[in-house]
Structure 1
């Protein structure tokens, strides 16, 4: 398996996976992925087995370079390859990028997605609040979670 930055041709597969993973919550179409991949302030990575995209994840850097914040936009694993640590592998890479510039990280996650919540908590994320009816059209609630910057986690 290989981890690499996602490229424009990968947008179609990401959109297919979104349809499978988030059918009731307005999954991202191919065109959104194209825009996200091309943005200068985003990092989108995929886990590949040969040419097959098994998992993807992306985040954006917000704020100034000397005091950045990051927001996880999406992370997903092909249902046939879940529970194999692929989401964790992607999070390792994304969190290393945020730690490289000492940035805090934010995300939203469905309150009923216990596997994802547990993974995020293992990475040091804590629940900050609930966003009611965040996911549409399902109306599912989301936890807002944050992970302090590396210097904050180290007490500096």
Structure 2
């Protein structure tokens, strides 16, 4: 398994994973905009097969994690943790001091990943995400980057 830059050529595989993993997936245009904007876009792969990805950006000393996803068939093997630590390390190298992200209150697997990485809840965004019954709250997490182990 290797982690490298996510490019436009990877988008068909990324969209396959995104559509399988999420009931409200990002669009291909959202990924393309992130690549064009110079966001931190990384792909974990095994040869030519995409396994997962992360999208983040750094601005004003902060890293914002926008999307972390692992192919459902590969979940539970630590790949999400590797992607997250990789991007956080790059953000630290780029001068970020802290990282933020939002996660659905119902996404126990992601919450466990973020808390195991050292993220702490700093707020709630009411009705942030679409849901079957209307909208779902998001937990806002923060991590002081000086605490991460690379």
TM-score past 0.5 threshold: yes
Kept after mapping to 2: 8 A contact 1:11/1:31 = no
User: Structure 1 residues 137, 117: closer, same or farther in 2, change over 3 A?
Assistant: closer
Deviations 1:75-102 (A, max 9, x none): 0010111101110110110111122224
Q: Name 2:115's counterpart in structure 1.
A: 121
> Quick check: 1:20 aligned with 2:20?
yes
Structure 2 CA distance, aligned partners of 1:38 and 1:71?
17
Structure 2 CA distance, aligned partners of 1:135 and 1:14?
21
More strand by share: 2
The farther-off stretch of 11-20 and 49-58 is 11-20
Question: 1:80 is paired with a residue of what secondary structure?
Answer: helix
Structure 1 CA distance, aligned partners of 2:17 and 2:126?
25
> Quick check: 1:38 aligned with 2:36?
yes
Q: Name 2:103's counterpart in structure 1.
A: 109
Number of equivalent positions = 145
Deviation at 1:47, TM superposition (A): 0.8
Deviation at 1:103, TM superposition (A): 2.2
Kept after mapping to 2: 8 A contact 1:47/1:55 = yes
Kept after mapping to 2: 8 A contact 1:129/1:145 = yes
TM (norm. structure 1) is 0.86
Q: Name 2:57's counterpart in structure 1.
A: 60
Structure 2 CA distance, aligned partners of 1:12 and 1:50?
16
Question: 1:133 is paired with a residue of what secondary structure?
Answer: strand
Please point out which of 52, 62, 66 is paired with 1:69: 62
Question: 2:136 is paired with a residue of what secondary structure?
Answer: coil
